[in-house]
Structures are given as structure tokens and as C-alpha cells.
Amino acid sequence: MQEKLKFYIDGKWVDPVTPKTLEVINPANEEPFAKISMGSKADVDKAVAAARKAFETFSRTTKEERLALLNKIVEVYQKKYADIVQAISMEMGAPLGLSKNAQAAMGIAHVTQAAKILKDYNFEEVKGTTAIVREPVGVVGMITPWNWPINQIACKVAPALAAGCTMVLKPSEIAPMNAMLWAEVMDEAGVPPGVFNLVNGDGPTVGEAMSSHPGIDMMSFTGSTRAGVAVAKASADTVKRVAQELGGKSANIVLDDADLKKAVVGGVMNMMSNSGQSCNAPSRMFVPKAKHDEAASIAKGVAEGIKVGDPFAEGTTMGPVVSEAQFNKIQGLIKKGIDEGATLVTGGLGRPEGMNRGYYVRPTIFANVTNDMTIAREEIFGPVLSILPYETEADAIKMANDTVYGLSGYVQSGSLDHARKVASQLRTGNVHLNGAGVDLNAPFGGYKQSGTGREWGEFGFEEFLEVKAVIGYGEKAA
């Protein structure tokens, strides 16, 4: 049993003010493998005080000093890379290959990207006689999720550091071990005391204390829409900036001129990646009605070829979902799909055959789904794909937009111009055309109840900056 019972505050590993522990569960076998401390408002107060003090000097550092710090973080991160990969697979169930090639890799990619942006960024420009100056927003409270844990830490911490902010991080208590390794990286890289602070805990205690804290200038939150609303409400009394990346129910529109097999295979694999636990997962596949049955047959074959198993076993392509609560939620929504009359093509209730332990879910495909069914409305956050037939392209676009979410969209077409035309009509923050992957320099975030603000690239960097106008800056002295 690993024990990580201290918090990282003001450049030191310190005991919680009030001892309280939580076991971290391995979702592959349902056994505890680590123990962390759960923080309180008093721990948040200490961390915020350290961050406020550090901001006085860190906010005045030069671009060159912060660049050197980011480059050192990359160097130390690389040394701990294997440990980070192991931690992510152990605590949230990602297969080793996914942890190594995507989960942990995204952490280092965001730091590298932040350094590139900082190197060329102009913090000051003169327009007429006024200087427009961009300055760090202040102390940032960060709350990150369990599904892409170090990705979300890095895409907040790296640009905040580059901007000259100081911060307090509350990682998910479900998958906290990678965050402890991240804090070790920050410490070894020489991040000045108080610039980065970590307090473990839950949302109602530590998250609430951070969101309502008068010493925090901005909250950056990634998680469910329900929890995002709570963060925004708690932040309102102190009128702090709130940036949120929340839930999604992304549409994948397969147009009539698309290569059906390629589109469906790619869509299913994208949906099932990370056990379906991605906010931008293409969970609603829209296909022309005449091609619906063929699409369902292709999807069935792909889903049944996925190897579900132990994240550490060779050949595993899909691990468990993260927790018992998540497993039960997914099972309930699969049952809803069956009860409401969707066609269960493959998968369904219970664990995959031969498994009696671990939070493993059958890769599940539903066909003949209508847009009013629960499985088409609610974010399932599991390996469950809904296939919805459509009569006309206009109908597909209308159904795709008929959701409270607006994080990502996907369009498949034999013509790039056709795909672009449809993309322009989707009310989402991201649209992927013909299987295009992520772009680290592109803004990531959503419309509607999928959030406010943007992460990644220059747009994400600028979330951590305030804009000041210095008027008369260019006038000659009287």
C-alpha cells in the first residue's frame, strides 16, 4: 500500500491540518492500492496564502526565466515518465499503451507547447498613445478530473506558469497519484516555493473552499456540468474569473458521400478509446437511414474485436471504467436504452464474459436510437455508442445541435468542402473533419453547457492573463 499523506504547499511536503485519509482503488481488481489525505478549508487557506505571497515576485519574473523553468519541467518529467504511466494505468484503468502514448504524453506536450507560445508571445503593444499590456491574472485555483488526469493538470498549470500566475491544484481524489508525481516534478524542477501548491480532497470540501476563497482570482475547472455549476455559484460572491471545460454529447455525422466502413470503424474506435471516458467522445453517430443497418453491422464487428482486460496485460485495448459509481451509472443507462426500445446490437448489461471482478463494461452498440431517448440525451461516459438514422442532411444537423452540450463534433464526408459546410452549422467548440485528431495549438472548449473559456494553445494561455490599458503611454512629456 502506497501512502501519500502530505500536501505540497509553499515548496514543502506538509501534513494536513486535520488528519483524514482516503483509500485509492484500482478499478481493475477493486482493491485499494494507495492512501492519500483529504484536505480541509484550513489546508486551502495555507496554500492560498503561499500562492499570494509568491505571486508578488513570480509575476515579475522575465519571459526568459519562465521559459527556463518550463524547459526544466520537461526534463524532469521525462525522468519520471515511466512512473507516471504506471500510476495512470493503476488508478484509472487506462491500458499501458494508452497511458504511455496518449495520457502521459499529453502532459509533456502541453508543457512544451506552453514554452513555444511564451517564447514568441508579445505581452505589450502600443495602439496610438495607449499601451495594451497583458499581465498574469493572479492566484488560480485548479480542479482537475480523473479521466485524462495529467493532461488536464498540464494544460492548466503549464500556461498559468508561462503567464506568471501562481496556483493551487486540487486533483481528482479518485486518481490522485499522477498528481503527486507531478508535484514531485515541479519541486525537482525548481519551481519557486508557493508558485505551485497541491491539496488533495473532495469537491464539496476543498473544491468549495477554493471556489469561494477571496484570495483566489480565477477558478479553472474541468469535470461534469453539475459540478461546474457548483464551482461557478461558489465563485460568484467574489466575482472571480471562471473557466470551465464540462460535459459533452458529441455528434458524429456520417454524410451520404462518406466511405461508410472507414467512417464507422474510426467512429467506434474513437468512442471506445479510454473506455468511453472522454468528454469529447463521439457518442452519437448519425448515419443515412438507407445505410443504417450496414453501419450497425460494421460497428458490431469493431466493438466485438475490442480486447477488454487488465490494463497491464499485453494486448488489452480497453481497460475498466474508473470506479464502482461510474460502472453502476453506465449499467443504469444501458438498461434505459434497452427499456426505451433502442436495438442492442452488441454488448449490454454486466461485465464481459469470464470477468467477475473489476469495473469492466461490455463495449456496447445501440442502433435505431431516436434523439429523445435517454442514451441520446445524457452523457454516459462509458463505452456505449448510439447510432441514429437520419432522413436528410438538414435533419442530421438539427438533431446534432439538439442538445444542451456543445463541446465537439465530427463530420465524415468524401468531400472536404462538404464536410466544412456541415461543420459551419454545428454549435460546438471543436469539429473534427474526416478523422482529424487533436491540435495542441487549437482552442479546446465548448458552447452551451459544455463550458466557458478555452484551453490549449494561445487561447488557453490568454485565459490566465488580464488586459490593462496604459493611456498616454505614447504621448510626449509635457
- Residues marked active site are found at 245, 279
What's the residue count for the chain? 478
Query: What distance in Å separates the CA atoms of residue 4 and residue 14, rounded to the nearest whole number?
Result: 11
Grid coordinates representing 93? 484503468
**Across-strand partners of 344?**
366
Spatial separation of the C-alpha atoms in residues 403 and 366, rounded to whole Å = 19
Rounded to the nearest 10 degrees, what angle do helices 104-120 and 81-92 cross at?
130
DSSP 100: I
DSSP annotation string for 340-371 = TT-EEEE--SSSPTT--SS-----EEEES--T
In three-state secondary structure terms, 57 is helix
Tell me which amino acid residue 394 is. A
Of 440, 411, 407, residue with least CA distance to 424:
411
Helix axis angle for 149-163 and 81-92, nearest 10°, is 130
Q: Which residues pair with 197 in a beta bridge?
A: 168
8-38 burial, b at 16+ Cβ within 10 Å, e below that, comes to bbbbeebebbeeeebebbbbbeeeeebebbb
Of the candidates 2, 461, 460, 11, the residue with the CA atom closest to the CA atom of residue 198: 11
Task: Extract the C-alpha cell encoding 407.
Answer: 463541446
β-sheet bridge partners, residue 2: 34
- Given a contact cutoff of 8 angstroms between Cβ atoms, the answer to whether 179 and 107 are in contact is no
Element (H, E) at 388: strand 384-390
The grid coordinates listed for 120 are: 514568441
Question: What whole-number distance in Å separates Cα of residue 327 and Cα of residue 149?
Answer: 19
> How crowded is the C-beta side of 301, counted as CA atoms within 13 Å?
10
Rounded CA-CA distance 155/175 in Å is: 17
Q: Which amino acid is at 354?
A: G
